[in-house]
Structure 1
Amino acid sequence: MAKSPNPEGKTGVRIVVAGDRGTGKSSLIVTAAADTFPTNVPRLLPPTRLPEDFYPDRVPITIIDTSSNPEDRGKLAEELKRADAVVLTYACDQPETLNRLSTFWLPELRQVEVKVPVIVVGCKLDLRDDQQQVSLEQVMSPIMQQFREIETCIECSAYKHIQIPEVFYYAQKAVLHPTGPLFDQESQTLKPRCVRALKRIFILCDHDRDGALSDAELNDFQVKCFNAPLQPSEIVGVKRVVQDKLVEGVNERGLTLTGFLFLHALFIEKGRLETTWTVLRKFGYNNDIKLSDDLIPYSSFKRAPDQSAELTNEAIEFLRGVYELFDNDLDNNLRPIEIEDVFSTAPENPWNDVPYKDAAEKTALGGLSLDAFLSEWALMTLLDPACSLENLIYIGYPGDTSSAICVTKRRRLDRKKQQSERNIYQCFVFGPANAGKSTLMNSFLGRPYSDSYSPTADERYAVNVVELPGGIKKYLVMREIPEDGVAKLLSNKESLAACDIAVFVHDRCICACAMS
């Protein structure tokens, strides 16, 4: 399978080489760049550049040599913090330098808070004592168990030109095609976010929605991701590999989701991470396995303080269809497990955390009615339209992203006309501690009164549908302002611009003043 050029839009990879003095750092760098073993090497090399055509990904590499002298520790720390990857060297003929990796160098990287891939390189392989031959896996396994940041290990010889290009290829590959976001080395399984992204890709490629990729769909997938078709014999071979290891990976209709995920786990286990990353990037994912920022039209969400964002009718109709699809028993009660299924193709369920968690009315069975489901989407669109649009895309919104969310007219214009076409209204709830703000909001969500008092530390939201005369439905968002948060809120002169009505709660009386 072909590789995509310049993945993740990287313009260069910066690799810092560190390790004890005399372990062969400079010789390794010079031999990689010049393809010649140096007879005289300066104590510290200047930055060395490998051209973009040096490796297939066509991304230039800058290699930084470092000093291991104690007086240069500050400079070393600066370089490590700027690194995209770190090559840590030891000398194969000096066992003490190998021990120093776990006693000094790897703990030092953690101390400096270096959070990039680490490639451990044994230099001077040609000088190793023949009587001390041990496998690299046997030597490195305990260290890699302790320091998960190690991406790979390799031994080389600059003098004999053994595996020199491979050192920086693996380092570049660890940056452009990192293992961490995709695969859990300890459990040897795909990470949850990777599974969710691949599930979304599978569904997008399953054009007839029959739960399997037919030969034609597999070929379309291959052409989209790798710009090359699969021969019929190759398709047969792929399915045979899956079926030999996993019977349920293939059925009479083609490759199942289980089989699709198995294939990618197999690619990663065999070191072919670039295959899975090419697929993810072709479908718009970045290194965090989230949609790239350039897929979200942030500029379309620009709004004045007295404007807000709402879902369009097209997006609401799509969400109605989603609700009906996942409400398997058609009881107008989307259970928690069904809500998780709705977001199973998103990086995570956005409603598991505040401010969306428990912000809508629950059914007697603990789920969400259609009104409550749409209320949650209304709240998310109001507070974070980019997040709302992103999740619409994750769950399969088929339309143009510009058709999903609109920005409302300014409230000051609505107030002049004494009318509004908005569908979402905001109510700010003020009052001293223990005055009943939370009780009021709980009542709005149909929750029973409770005598127990639990102070609200942060702002809290409640959203529900309010039916107006003529059967017209609008969404009302109540925002509880904690007593100690009032001063901060009002310190911004525009803070009340988004407020349509303010409710002041004190003791057992409620006073309300309309803002529109």
Structure 2
Amino acid sequence: MPGGNSAAAGGKTGVRIVVVGDRGTGKSSLIAAAATESFPENLSPVLPPTRLPADFFPDRVPITIIDTSASLESRGKLNEELKRADVIILTYACDFPLTLTRLSSFWLQEFRRLEVKVPVIVVGCKVDLRDENQPISLEPVMGPIMQQYREIETCIECSAVTLMQVPDVFYYAQKAVLHPTAPLFDQDTQALQPRCIRALRRIFILCDSDMDGALNDAELNDFQVKCFDAPLQPAEIVGVRRVVQEKKKEGVNDLGLTLEGFLFLHSLFIDKGRLETTWAVLRKFGYGNDLKLRDDFLPAPSKDAPDQSVELTIEAVEFVRRVFRLFDTDNYGALRPTELDELFSTAPENPWGEAPYKDAAERTTQGNLTLKGFLSEWALMTMLDPRGSLANLLYIGYGGNPASALHVTRRRSVDRKKQQTERNVFHCLVFGPKNAGKSTLLNSFLGRPFSESHELIAGERYAVNVVDQHGLSLQGNKKTLILREIPEDGVKKFLSNKESLSSSDVAVFVYDRGC
């Protein structure tokens, strides 16, 4: 499989590189040598911003290099530049060992103090001036530092005088931004990151057109064309299979390349320093640097007015019903936690593991999620986070037009005038003083027994369930009701937003009859 090209940049329009280090370590000479391809004479103490053209490197993304001063009076300007950086080049002088020790004793600590969270490329300048009688091996010196400071992407030594590895310095810096290692690979375990595995698993399933658990020659070729605009020759396919089979026996079977083999190939690319190949694949399928689908791949509808809401379409509801039945392997009518985790194994994580979704829907006494609870969670997520809901539909295999998965409802003010609605999800606010029974009401709505010693949950809380609309002339009698508990100490802040009440259909005030 060939490496990525400009598509791997993921829409990045420029890379801002800030060069820092002790005085006299060769920062300005390094920058000027890269820009002019010659050793500079009579440089000013700090160079103005230097731009490398878009075609300087294969990714065709322009680079802006910022020179800095290490003087105390320039510290404020330096800190500003660090906070604007996409990547930092941290220099030391090969002929002055003290500057090497200053990397960990000052500079790297300073970056963390300033909460600058970007990749760092450590660069030894003036390698041509190093004392030949005192050879140095970088690995034993930098190894412990890189263990402590994971933000260091790589280390390299260069010479502005001889131009040795000068272009490489800025190539590695650009690559650290466009093709970062950390989201893909865990240096401690020497394994693919869990979120990377989940994304690649989804891509594998999407490419496995016949759903037989392996990519045959045609599917592998289609994948190659989609990602790299070039077909694989028959000899190349044979070569891919041979490489995988030699190192990962279960990576190939009679049907083709298995998921284990697909993941192994990407581990191999990363191990060989070809991160741009894996990033090209991920970005072609819509992933950003956080290994979530980018917004431009998620055409979620937006509301025109606060009294509208967003719901799943009938097509999307039928899809999630089918998914539920598919993963309810024991036909028990409820998903066990392991089954739910498997269902979301192609998503960055289980979206319902944290508030406001955790414990917001009906479950069995064993803690398993019923079909009503499953549909309710989707309704809640779609109301609160339409883009996130659409993303999770795509993560779990929704194959329809993404733009047709969600729809915006008619304004509630129009519904009230017409005294009819086509909406299927309704939003109820629950107010009341402390200890009036708001949480008990929400628990009861989910079929949970009353408990004197129930756990108090601070802040807002949601409960959502499917209810019967008996006696009402609504299309279909199954509707979803979302209860939103507003804590007493949060009412003033809630009502200070004029649109807060517009998003709801009804409000309930709870009080304690015994008081």
Shift of 1:417: 2.6
* Paired amino acid for 1:445: L
User: How does 1:437-516 map onto structure 2 within 5 Å?
Assistant: 437-452=438-453, 454-469=455-470, 472-508=477-513
Q: In 2, Cα distance between the equivalents of 1:172 and 1:231?
A: 31
Q: Which moved more, 1:270-279 or 1:127-136?
A: 127-136
Matched, 1:203 2:205: yes
Map of 2:312 onto structure 1: 311
Q: In the alignment, residue 437 of structure 2 is paired with which amino acid?
A: G
Q: Note the C-alpha offset of 1:305.
A: 2.1
- Which one of the candidate residues 99, 109, 115 is aligned to 1:107? 109
Q: Deviations over 1:129-179 (max 9, x none)?
A: 222213222221111111111000001112122111101110111111111
Letter paired with 1:12: G
Aligned mates of 2:429, 2:447 — CA distance in 1: 19
Partner Cα separation in structure 2 for residue 402 and residue 31 of structure 1: 50
Q: In the TM superposition, what is the alpha-carbon distance from 1:314 to its structure 2 partner?
A: 0.3
Contact 1:225/1:278 (8 A) holds in 2: yes
Question: Within 5 Å, which residues of 2 pair with 1:375-454?
Answer: 375-452=376-453, 454=455
Deviates more, 1:205-214 or 1:3-12: 3-12
Deviations 1:31-86 (A, max 9, x none): 11111112332222121111111111111111111112222111111111111111
Deviation digits for residues 434-461 of structure 1 (CA, Å, limit 9, x no counterpart): 1111111111111111011544421111
Residues 1:64 and 2:69 aligned together = no
Structure 2 residue matching 1:259: 3-state secondary structure: helix
User: What are the ranges of 5 or more consecutive residues in structure 1 without an aligned counterpart?
Assistant: 511-516
Q: Residues 18 and 68 of structure 1 are in contact (CA less than 8 Å); yes or no, is this contact kept in structure 2?
A: yes
State the alpha-carbon separation in 1 of the partners of residues 26 and 411 from structure 2. Answer: 67
Checking the alignment, whether the CA contact within 8 Å between 1:333 and 1:365 is kept in structure 2 is no
Equivalent AA in structure 2 for residue 372 of structure 1? G
- Once superposed, what is the RMSD of the aligned Cα atoms? 1.6
Change (3 A) 1:142 1:501: same
| More displaced stretch, 214-223 vs 65-74 | 65-74
CA distance in 2, matches of 1:398, 1:130: 63
Write out aligned runs for 1:261-276 (5 A).
261-276=263-278
Structure 1 counterpart of 2:504, which letter? Answer: C
2:64 partner amino acid: T
**Distance in structure 1 (CA, Å) of the matches to 2:101 and 2:498:** 61
Secondary structure, aligned partner of 1:497 = helix
The offset of 1:309, in angstroms, is 1.2
Identity of aligned residues (%): 70
8 Å Cα contact 1:433/1:455 also seen in 2:
no
Q: Which residue identity lines up with residue 245 of structure 1 in the other structure?
A: K
The aligned residue for residue 14 of structure 2 is: 12
- The higher-RCO structure (CA 8 Å, 6+ apart) is 2
**Secondary structure of the equivalent of 2:502?**
coil
Cα distance between partner residues in 2 of 1:314 and 1:275: 36
> Are the counterparts in 2 of residues 301 and 386 from structure 1 also a CA contact under 8 Å?
no
- Contact between 1:13 and 1:172, CA under 8 Å: does it hold in 2? yes
2:46 & 2:411 partners in 1: Cα distance?
A: 63
Q: SS at 1:165's partner residue?
A: helix
The Cα offsets for residues 325-369 of structure 1, whole Å up to 9 and x where unpaired, read as 111112211111111111111111110111111111102332112
2:346 aligned with 1:345, yes or no?
Answer: yes
1:223 Cα deviation from its structure 2 partner:
0.8
CA contact (8 A) 1:284 1:295 kept: yes
For the residue of structure 1 that corresponds to 2:162, the secondary structure is coil
Aligned pairs for 1:10-89 within 5 A: 10-89=12-91
- The Cα of 1:391 is off from its aligned counterpart by 0.9
Secondary structure, counterpart of 2:369 in structure 1: coil
Q: Deviations over 1:412-471 (max 9, x none)?
A: 222223222211112222211111111111111111110115444211111111123487
Aligned to 2:155: 153
The question of whether the paired residues in 2 share the 8 Å contact of 1:462 and 1:478 is answered with yes
Provide the residue aligned with 1:324 in structure 2: 325
Is the contact made by 1:346 and 1:395 (CA closer than 8 Å) also made in structure 2? yes
Q: 1:134 to 1:475 in 2, by over 3 A?
A: same
Q: Distance in 2 between matches of 1:346 and 1:5?
A: 26
CA contact (8 A) 1:372 1:464 kept: yes
Q: Tell me by how many angstroms 1:508 deviates.
A: 4.2
Three-state SS of the structure 2 residue aligned to 1:352 is coil
The count of residues paired between Structure 1 and Structure 2 equals 509
Residue of structure 1 equivalent to 2:133: 131
Deviations, residues 280-314 of structure 1 (Å, cap 9, x unaligned): 1101111111111112224x222422221111110
Alpha carbons 1:17, 1:64 under 8 Å: kept: yes
TM-score scaled to structure 2, two decimals? Answer: 0.96
Aligned to 1:346, the other structure's residue is in SS state coil
CA distance in 1, matches of 2:498, 2:143: 60
